[in-house]
Structure formats: C-alpha cells, structure tokens
Structure 1
Amino acid sequence: MLIQRDKWIQYGILGSETSLAKHLPATQLLTQNTLKNMLLQYSNVVLKPRNGSYGRDIVFIQRNRSNGYRIQNEDSTVHMKNIDQLLQWIQSTDKADGYIVQERLRLAQIQHKPFDIRIMVQRQKGTSSPWNATGSYGKVASQGYLVTNVTSRTISVLRALQLARIGDSGVMNKIEKIARIAAKCLGEHYPDLRQVGFDIGIDRKRRVWIIEGNYKPDLRPFRRLRDSSMYRRILWYKEH
C-alpha cells in the first residue's frame, strides 16, 4: 500500500488504537464550523496543512477575552476583531482547503521557548521484525517562533528534560514505549514502512503527546549530536 504523508489519515490510524488515542491532541478537518467549535472549546488552536512538512504554513490562532483573535504564522502576527473577520481571512487564503485544525498543546519550555522531542523508530526488513527506538534529540524553538522546526538548537533528550525540569530517564522510557506502539500501528497499515520519526511533545502537566510521525525524517540533526552511536544505529537499520 502506498504510504501517504497525510496528517488527517495518520491521525485516524493512530486514533484507532485505544492506548494511543489519549496521547493525540483533538483534531478535525478544517471547516468554518470545526474552527468555530474548536476555538470555543480550546481558545488556542493550530492549523496545519495535511501534507505539510518542515513546519511550513502552520498557523496558530488564539482567542482573547474580548473574542478577538491573534494569528501567528512563523514569526509574524496579525489580529482579527471577531470570528467573522477571522473566517474571511481563512477563506481568502489557500488555508481553506487541505488543512486540519488541532488543539494547541502547551508544550514544556526551555528558557521560555517551546521544545519537543524527535524520536526515530525503525525495524529491519520483514514485517515480522519488531520496532525499536534507535535515536532521539530535543528540538528547541528559535526566538519568536512557536514551531520547533525552526530550531535554535539541537540537544540530547535527557539534557532537554533536565533544562525543562520535567523529568528524567523514566519519562523517556514512556516516550519510547508510546513511539513503538505508534510505529507498530502505522506499520500494520503500511507493510513497507520501516522507519518513522515521531515528534513527541510533553506539556506543562508532564503529559506525553504524539504531535505527528514523519515517514521520511531528516537525519542530519543526528549527525550533529555528540553521541554518534545513534546516527550509526539509524544507518544500520536503514540498510538491514
């Protein structure tokens, strides 16, 4: 089966696994009604292109106390007076189609910048091979950005957890377990799938969230880590 890089389809696959559903942020296809309802329920939401990558074209919307709206795309911000103006703005852009709307996660921070974790999960050739976590690193957002794809630095996960004061290796064990279950779930749907780079968030209440899985993850950040064994392990799995 063709592996589809579609966030909405992936959300449906992962959400069908009971143990994973609680680790997925609330997500809907973007329509005027779903946007209205999500903003009423959460006040902070994220718009993401279904087939986007590298954090491009992600829009953050925040409802304020006067029912106006703050919209941030990359490092630029605009304000809308009311929901009608917001919906007109959405309609006037190419964000009217092919987007999902998602509950915004309040990610833990390092020096007032949100961070998340990229974890690689791979399996050897053959669908009976078990999934293993082969590498991970922390991504810290650049100043003024809300997405960690525009990162100010790449650091080890344990160092990131230490700096954020949210946990230790026990948290990482939980993340690895969730990532392996998620990879197994996706692998059952896509038998040819052998690697997934998951973006995992930890919120300010220390809850673990699956932000998304990337089927063709960028491996270059692993080369920049002091621990080169992760990069070597990832390359070994790609060959075997």
Structure 2
Amino acid sequence: MRTKGSRSISVKSKWTKTKWLLADRALRQFVPETKLFTLSSLNDMTGRYKMVYFKPTGGSGGNGIARIVRTSSRKFRVKKDARTFETSSTGSLYGRLKRIARGRSYLLQKGIHLQTSGGRPFDFRMTMQKPEKGKWVPSVMFVKLGKPNTVVTNYHQGGKLALVGETLRRSGYSSGQIERYKMRLRTLGLQTARCFERRSPRFRELGLDVALDRTGRLWILEVNTRPNFYALKSLRDKSLFRTMVRYGKKYGRTR
C-alpha cells in the first residue's frame, strides 16, 4: 500500500483489490472470475473459458498483459503486445507463461468479449474523486478505444480516448440506453468507492475500468487507485481534464 503524503493512499496489487470487490455483496456479480496464476488455476480457467487474460498483479498501463485463446481441446494461441505464439498443451502453455512472468505474481481472469464501436473494441473509465471528507464524486467518465485485435485498450498501448455518448451512439445505442449506461457507471463507481473506503478512509481517487460485453452486461475489469489524468489532454474537449485537475487540487494530487 503506497502513501502520497499523509492524505491519500494507493494500492498496486490487482489481486488485493479484486478480493475486496469479490467480498462485496453488491459488486461481486460484476467481477469476472479471477485467480492467482498457478498450474492448477491455469488448467481450471482454460478448461472452462475459451478466452483468459494473463495479467501482472502489480502492472499498470496495460503492460505485461497477454490474451490466451483455446483453439481446440488442448491447443492455445497467446497474444502479447505484437507477438503471437501457439502451444499444444496446458503444460507447455504454463512453461511459456512462467517465462513471461519471470518470477513475478500474475493473475488469470476470464476474458470478456468487448463491445466494439467503428470496429474498435472499447471499455469505460469511471473516475471517482473525494475532494471533501466522506463525499465521493463521480467526476468524469470516458471511453478507451483499442486498435482492432489488440490485447488491451490502454492509451499507452496505442488506444485512443473518446466520449461515452458518441462511442455508444456509433455502436447503435439509443439516447435512452446511453443515459442508462451512464447512470449504471456512476452507481458502480459509488458502490466501489464505498467498498474501498471500508478498507481505508484515505482513498481519495479511483479509476474503474469497466467492460461492456456483447450482450450488454457491465464488468469491472480492475480498479486503479492512482488513475492517469494526463491522457485526457488528448481529447478535443478539455473539460474532462480540467474537472479532474480541479478535484485533484483539493487533495493535493494536482496544482
């Protein structure tokens, strides 16, 4: 657990944060099945799900993430960054993933087939900030658009930021549906903020990465306790960046 000054804290471990979400009765239904990477959990997860994500417990910005796709009963295709390789057994897959991990802790997470907009997969970022004691604000929400067939949507991995309304409209959603999704994202943000606040009152900002699958269901992929502000400068509309900075000033994140 990392502290910034005496006012706000940051937790790097995705596994710790996932366990908090899973322990919350209201939120566990929104969390894709996630397990620590072991040979046993790899056998289990790849046996039950055709697509599984391999994620470092302490990574950020989409770094180190690989996508595993089961192509037949015993064969797998793995994509990491621009590289793709295939294996012919779970044992050889485990060996290759162990080499990628290099002794670091990794997670396996059920893969979510993301909704697309203009042919690009996307997920949502819902940012929560707490400028005053005990008062969380759903400050900004936006979309991260990935390149077609990429493993992650992150801006630092070639993704692009966009507005929620225009992205969902391009996917064929009506104005009413768009407003309902925005309301659901704010609700998820507030529920997550309350969940984290029960662990410590010193959290001041959270960035939820929320997937929309092709059936219309929302999933919390992970929660960042020190979300990136500056990628928002890439949007034509600078108001989202200004909003985050304004709230961030109240707890010392920005000047």
TM-score calculated relative to the size of structure 2: 0.87
* Cα 1:96/1:191, change in 2 over 3 Å: same
User: Residue 141 of structure 2 aligns with which residue?
Assistant: 136
Is 106-115 or 22-31 further displaced after alignment? 106-115
Matched, 1:203 2:203: no
User: Residue 65 of structure 2 aligns with which residue?
Assistant: 58
Q: Following TM superposition, by how much is the alpha carbon of 1:96 offset from its aligned partner in structure 2, in angstroms?
A: 5.5
Q: Distance in 2 between matches of 1:8 and 1:207?
A: 23
Write the letter of the residue equivalent to 1:48. K
Q: Following TM superposition, by how much is the alpha carbon of 1:185 offset from its aligned partner in structure 2, in angstroms?
A: 0.9
Q: Distance in 2 between matches of 1:40 and 1:201?
A: 23
User: Residue 121 of structure 1 aligns with which residue?
Assistant: 128
TM-score calculated relative to the size of structure 1: 0.93
Matched, 1:111 2:118: yes
* Cα 1:113/1:75, change in 2 over 3 Å: farther
User: Residue 15 of structure 2 aligns with which residue?
Assistant: 8
- Check the 8 A contact 1:24/1:210 in 2, yes or no: yes
- Check the 8 A contact 2:229/2:245 in 1, yes or no: no
Write the letter of the residue equivalent to 2:113. R
Structure 1: stretches of 5+ with no match in the other structure: none
Is 214-223 or 191-200 further displaced after alignment? 214-223
Is 67-76 or 222-231 further displaced after alignment? 222-231
Matched residue SS, 2:11: coil
Which consecutive segments of 4 or more residues in structure 1 shift more than 3 A? Answer: none
Write the letter of the residue equivalent to 2:34. T
Alignment equivalent of 1:164, drawn from 164, 171, 182: 171
- Check the 8 A contact 1:30/1:97 in 2, yes or no: no
Q: Distance in 1 between matches of 2:119 and 2:69?
A: 18
* Cα 1:228/1:19, change in 2 over 3 Å: same
User: Residue 90 of structure 1 aligns with which residue?
Assistant: 97
Identity of aligned residues (%): 25
Q: Following TM superposition, by how much is the alpha carbon of 1:66 offset from its aligned partner in structure 2, in angstroms?
A: 4.5
Q: Deviation per CA, 1:60-88: give whole Å up to 9, x if none.
A: 10111252100000121101112121122
User: Residue 253 of structure 2 aligns with which residue?
Assistant: none
Q: Distance in 2 between matches of 1:114 and 1:163?
A: 12
Q: Distance in 1 between matches of 2:166 and 2:100?
A: 40
Matched, 1:22 2:43: no
Q: Distance in 1 between matches of 2:102 and 2:117?
A: 31
Structure 2: stretches of 5+ with no match in the other structure: 3-9, 251-255
* Cα 1:131/1:86, change in 2 over 3 Å: same
Number of residue pairs matched by the alignment: 238
Q: Distance in 2 between matches of 1:14 and 1:66?
A: 32
